[in-house]
Structure 1
């Protein structure tokens, strides 16, 4: 396959197409990603294009990562933080023909999974996300810039839903009636969250915001955690963002693209592994309010994602890529079913949390 990679991008990092092998990799939908293997046998690198349709201020990403990398280097020098490699001109990114690129060191003997196949993987991944939050507990989150403003703002997502509901066609509203009713019925989740925001022990932290399994590196043979990757969305947020997103993506064997709702079940061993992995790092750092909201974090993020899929369907599928016209509606149904499964299993899930907090 011919790779359409501008030679000027390679030049910015001191390479040419003659002295490096290039292979496109990754399953991400946002950024184009390549593996660079210098022919001289040097260390390999990841070269990634930043999607400016999603990240409209790439400099915010670069500034955030530099500030965090400097802090960790000073306070926890042994921690593996995959910071960008500087260009030959000493810049954090390469800016070529109106596109932004960054180069990252490739971690040998590591694997990034697309699907969880055993609870140990959930434990190790959750532990890594928890570890990063713990190490950055004393870092001033206010010094970071939002790379996607309002990304996990449930209030904003509810406003967007109500706007779409008021503007959509009768046909789409009719097709989505059940899901619209569910979205309105679950507004109590937003109200419950707002009742906590005034508390002093519900702080803004440095959060990853996208804690799916593919965003952590594990050792290839043992699945032991190595480090967190894909750091574009590191910015200020509540602990709910990371733990809730893990619940949304780790607990069911099937993704949001599964239309058969009978398959949407919570795997208790994965929940237990995830909670224990996360709390093995964060138990002593979380406040009492945060501990109260551990299970709620799953409700918050799952409801928010259901709203986003439903909103996109009502808007005519303008944001999420689809393979058929009603896919975003099916995704919303999927997420509402997952949300209901949290309630069905609430006692068992809360018992696991209480046991893990001891």
Structure 2
């Protein structure tokens, strides 16, 4: 982005583009994000939505606008979107889709953690998110990414990628392909028929939780693009894969990939601190959900690798394959602890 084009966008959001500074933030794998700072030290987050991924960004923003007023409590910080000069909460300019939101002062995110307090707070804030949204009519929330976590859909995409991939890629990814086929069989036992449909965040990795730098308290969930219908084990499993594992998502040394039981118990304790918000069937689904979510992310990364890296941003050719193998390795470790997780969840959540 040129300075002139950024300034034009800031002006549309009623900011003085000539008295601001902006810095790219590189954590996201999908959208382009900038930290914007005015001369008076006011800060904002500017994002360009990836419309190749989110093909109807208007629905995406409608879901967010509907849920944001409800996501507000003494122990849950509210995010606000700036309006444009035409009084919309997003801007379409030159076929690009932009939005601007407030930056919560003295806040930070973490990619991984070894701190039980951070794990507890992550569990608490995810539980609070679901507590606040539990009475919403889910029919009012539209799917921005249909079949996002649906195993049959991801399996079909994977099969199509296998047919289209080059022989070289198939050979390089042979180990990952065999692991994927094993997990697809294992996870066929995950029965969702008795589970209530909720409004879920659907992307509750640790770095989508905002924390206070001073109190260590979790403040709120961010990156709300995937607010859609779903099952609670989606949000549980996505959090577990990034909190209980202290290694990077694309870690190549699998001896560094952990299932840290102390962090797991802290997270579940944080979840339970919100009171009884889960049904019996939901509690029973959580251990396999902690296997399902790293696997489904790994399968998507493998599919993207076979499709020549068209979805996730990569910094080197085989990064999606490394992501896949790392995620599969954690899924294996979670599967080995399925009964341990079930016992602790039963004791902690009732």
Residues 1:217 and 2:216 aligned together? no
Q: In 2, distance between residues paired with 1:229 and 1:66?
A: 13
Unaligned segments of structure 2, at least 5 residues? none
Give the SS at the match of 1:101.
strand
Distance 1:320 1:70, change over 3 A: closer
Distance 1:327 1:226, change over 3 A: closer
* Equivalent residue number for residue 66 of structure 2: 67
Residues 1:197 and 2:192 aligned together? yes
Cα distance, 1:36 vs structure 2: 2.8
Give the SS at the match of 2:97.
strand
8 Å contact kept, 1:161–1:311:
yes
Q: In 1, distance between residues paired with 2:261 and 2:5?
A: 44
Cα distance, 1:13 vs structure 2: 1.8
After alignment, is 175-184 or 314-323 more displaced? 314-323
Distance 1:332 1:32, change over 3 A: closer
Residues 154-169 of structure 1 correspond to what in structure 2 (within 5 A)?
154-169=151-166
Distance 1:89 1:177, change over 3 A: closer
* Equivalent residue number for residue 223 of structure 2: 230
Residues 1:312 and 2:292 aligned together? no
* Equivalent residue number for residue 151 of structure 1: 148
Q: List, as ranges, runs of 4+ consecutive aligned residues in structure 1 with deviation greater than 6 Å.
A: none
8 Å contact kept, 1:189–1:300:
no
Q: Choose the corresponding residue for 1:300, options 292, 314, 317.
A: 292
Q: Choose the corresponding residue for 2:235, options 234, 242, 247.
A: 242
8 Å contact kept, 2:170–2:306:
yes
Residues 1-358 of structure 1 correspond to what in structure 2 (within 5 A)?
3=3, 5-39=5-39, 41=40, 43-72=42-71, 79-193=76-190, 196-199=191-194, 202-281=195-274, 284-358=276-350
Distance 1:89 1:191, change over 3 A: same
The Cα RMSD (Å) is 2.3
Q: In 1, distance between residues paired with 2:269 and 2:105?
A: 27
Cα distance, 1:42 vs structure 2: 6.8
Deviations along 1:269-309, one digit per CA (max 9) or x if unpaired, are 1111111112222x512111101111111111122122222
8 Å contact kept, 1:128–1:227:
yes
Give the SS at the match of 2:47.
strand
Distance 1:4 1:342, change over 3 A: farther
Q: In 2, distance between residues paired with 1:324 and 1:105?
A: 33
Q: In 2, distance between residues paired with 1:178 and 1:26?
A: 30
Cα distance, 1:93 vs structure 2: 0.9
Distance 1:28 1:331, change over 3 A: closer
8 Å contact kept, 1:81–1:228:
no
Distance 1:178 1:6, change over 3 A: closer
Cα distance, 1:26 vs structure 2: 4.9
After alignment, is 258-267 or 63-72 more displaced? 63-72
